[in-house]
Every structure is written in C-alpha cells, then in structure tokens.
Chain A
C-alpha cells in the first residue's frame, strides 16, 4: 500500500460514514464551541494559555488512565486547575506567559510519567496527545453535549461585557463592567472547552480549533459579528472536514484537522492583505511623535 493510500482511503466510505455519525456530531459541536471561544482567545491574547491548559489537561487525563478512573473527569480536573491558576496569577500578559511557561512543561512531564507507568493499550496513550474522534461513544457524546451547552450558555450570558472588557478594558471598567469577575469566568469556560477538545483532537492540537479559526477570520474583517460567524464556520469545516477525510485511514484525525485549519488561515492572510485593509499605519506614526510618552498595552 502506498503512503498516499494510507493517508486517504475512501473504500467502503458509505458504510464507514454510518458508523461515525456520533463522531461527526461531536465534531460539529466542538467546531461551534471552538469557533466562538477562539474569538475571545484572540481578543484577550490567550493562545499560549490555551496551550498551557491543554498540557495540564493531558496530565489529568493520563493520571486518570493510570488510575483506571474516568479519563474525561481527569482531563477536566487538570484543565480547570490550570485555567483558574493562570487566570488568578496572570492578569498581566507578562506574568501570565511566565506562569504558563513554568506550568506547561511540568504538566507535560507528569503526563509522560503517568503514561509510562500505564500498562494498557498504547492507542489510548497516543490518542490523548493526537486525538481519537472515531472512538466517540454515546456516553461520551452526552458528556460533550452537556459541557458544550454549559459553555455556550455561559458565553451567551457574558458576551457583551466580555467583548467590552477584552477589547477596551479601561473604559469597560469605568462603565461599571465587572472586569475582575469576567476574567476568571472566561477562564472557567475556556478550561471546560479545552478539556472537551482534548478528547477529540488531542492535547497537542487544541490550538488549531481554539486559536486558528478566529486568527484567520480577523485577517479578513474587523466586524465583530462577521469575525464570530467566520470563526465558527472555519472551526466546523476544520473538525468535520478532518473527520470525513480521516475515516478510511489508520492515521489519527489531528493532521487532517490542523492542515485544513492552517490552509484556511493562509487563504485568509492572502485575502486580508488587500489594499483597503492594510492602509497607512498612521496610528503608530502619531504615537511615535518625539517627546510623547510611549504608550503601551
């Protein structure tokens, strides 16, 4: 069998498709949640935090695997501990990045330790890092549905003030937006969303659905509603498209998802470099007036 056939194999596709409707539904849900969350991940400059949370989530999941308890519960625990720690200790970007830089290798190391001690199927181990969507069964799907419903409701509730606090924190605070409450609330939702994604795309590739979709959308428009819509569309296309392409092959789903996601980003960058968006960077030129204090974010 050629390499190409190992990557793409569409024999008996119809039969396979009927077997994985659970997975496709899971991919759809994940795409919607990832697309929505990723707009705030970009606005709040949190991609690195997402990566840090996913490594801790991986540690939690592998601990659960070793102990023989529910893997989902394990990944959720790791995820929430990481998200709330990062939220509590790192309100400033600089502090946050150093905390994540410290937490992340520790989490990954713990995960490696637990997996090395684990004597079960090695597919289970690999799946935590690189994804295993085909394995979605009905109890897992209901867990996924429940968590995403919670995340979506939570996001809907805080949507406007969170947008205000994320893009314009000073004025938001002056207007009475509880900026200090919204930050941990969002980290909680982010932690849940990451734990969800780990089950499907794996710890290493969470960013492809929690960062790339909105990063791509922001390249082509600045209209907030359109950014959100495009981001969801991009995320759903990446995850569901990835599942559909990977069906017949023996390769994990993640390379398909990440490749589609990256291709969309590249396309958006190309489109986004059109002249009317580039414009002269006058804002920067004015801020650089000699004698003016250097403003920083």
Chain B
C-alpha cells in the first residue's frame, strides 16, 4: 500500500504571538473526503496555504504522497471559491481547464490533439461539455465551479484542495458541486480536503471532519466532532448542535465567528 496522500505531523502555525493551531496531526488516505470546518480566522485557509507550500509551518511537517509540501506540486488540484469573472475575459471554459493542465509551464504552448482530448474528457466528466466553448465570464456560479473542478482534476492530482467552493452558490449548485467532488474521489481515488462553512451540503459525503477554533482542533467522524459538548469545549461557551431532518444546526456561536453565524441563519431559514 502506498503512503497516505496527506500527512500532517505535529504541525503548528503562529503569526507573531498569535497561535492559529498547534500539534496538529492529520492523515488523509487516498479517496478520503475530509471536511475542514471552523470559525473565521481559525486558520483554515492558512492550512491550505501550508499544504500548497505557500506558507511555512512554525514547526512540524507536511507531506503529500510521501514528499514534503512544496510550491507548484503537481499532486495537488485546487478549487477556489466562485468569483465574478469579467464577461470580456478572453477565456472559454476549455481554456480555463487547459491552464490547469499546463498553464504553469514556460513558453507559448502549441495546441495538440492529445491535450484537446484530455480537456474534452474532463469537461465531459464534470458535465460541462455543453458549455465548453462559452466565455467563463458568462457562466453561472454553478457552471463555473464545475469547470473549476475539471481544471483542478485535469493534471491528475492525488489531493483535491477545495477552498470554500460553495460560497455564493445557490443551494442546488452547492449540492451539485459537492456531489461532483465526491464522485471524483470515488472514481479517481483522489483524496479531498474540503474547507467550508456550509456544513450541511458536505454532511452526506464527509468521512471525517477537522474542526478548527480558538487555537484548538478536533478531528474525527461527523458525530464525534459536531456535537454540543465538543464545540462548547472548543469555543469555551455553551454551543448547541441540533440535528433536524438530517441537517445540522449550530446555535450559540460567539459573535466573532461571523461565517458560522451566517451558516446558522442560513440553515435555520432552509425548508
């Protein structure tokens, strides 16, 4: 059996006197889906930056497929949050996917049939073949995220890093996007680290949860981490986790964790 896709060992990260997290251990096996949840400013994005090799750890090690994290690793595919793209940006869906394949290489890069086939195959796999030639700026948020997933997968990564990919998507697109990520890890054995503040869309798929808050972390199954006593302990204030019709509602989070408040409101308002 090969080495774990991602191995974080005794890792700590501080900015000056501010400690984001310390002694963090995490092992992600091929094909595993790990949701990373937590308050704003708890270091979720910094964790991704460490894995991408853009940020050094204060102490500890990070290895991807057995090798230390470094910038531009071909083992990692990255899905960012959806952003408005200028409608005039000269990029079609297929060009965005193409950049994921070889956009980091020097030179002009001439088109070739093999490259085109690969891009078409990926667009087909995420169900974006119908708008392969449309400008990225004219795609809807959900369509854009499908293309983003194709872009992240086209180079055949072992680890998919998703950084709030559901933000500013409507509920249907949120579940479609999450389902697509899930499908890719099942077919390609790609491990998934999914940073989100929208808990419910990822609940059906997450094998494990890594929760970051208040300089601490908890890792485990959804039930082990997302319960009133664990969260109350991490936030050092009474937090209530309510399960209702297969959804999780978190109530009583401190003011400072803005995004979680948003999640709570959103979840309570849902049918």
Contact = CB atoms under 8 A, between A and B. Distances in A.
9 A-B pairs closest in CB distance: A176-B72, A164-B103, A222-B135, A286-B141, A174-B78, A282-B140, A292-B168, A227-B90, A176-B71
Contacts of A282: 138-141, 143
B257 to A, nearest CB: 14
Nearest to A219: B88
Interface stretch (B3-11, B23-31, B104-112): B104-112
B58 interface: no
Given A172-B104, A295-B84, A283 B90 contact: no
Contact of A295 (B53, B168, B266): B168
Given A159-B108, A174-B78, A291 B266 contact: yes
Contacts of B100: 171, 175
> Which range holds the interface residue count of chain A?
35 or more
14 contacts: A43-B90, A157-B106, A159-B108, A160-B99, A160-B109, A161-B103, A164-B99, A164-B103, A172-B103, A175-B78, A175-B104, A218-B88, A289-B170, A291-B266
Interface string A173-185: 1111100000000
A58 B92 CA distance: 38
B46 interface: no
Contact of A281 (B76, B89, B96, B138): B138
Interface of B: 52-54, 71-73, 76, 78, 80-92, 95-96, 99-100, 102-109, 111, 133-144, 148, 151, 161, 167-170, 173, 262, 265-266
A168 B52 CA distance: 16
B99 A284 contact: no
Given A168-B96, A171-B100, A171-B151, A293 B90 contact: no
A1 to B, nearest CB: 44
A39 B90 contact: yes
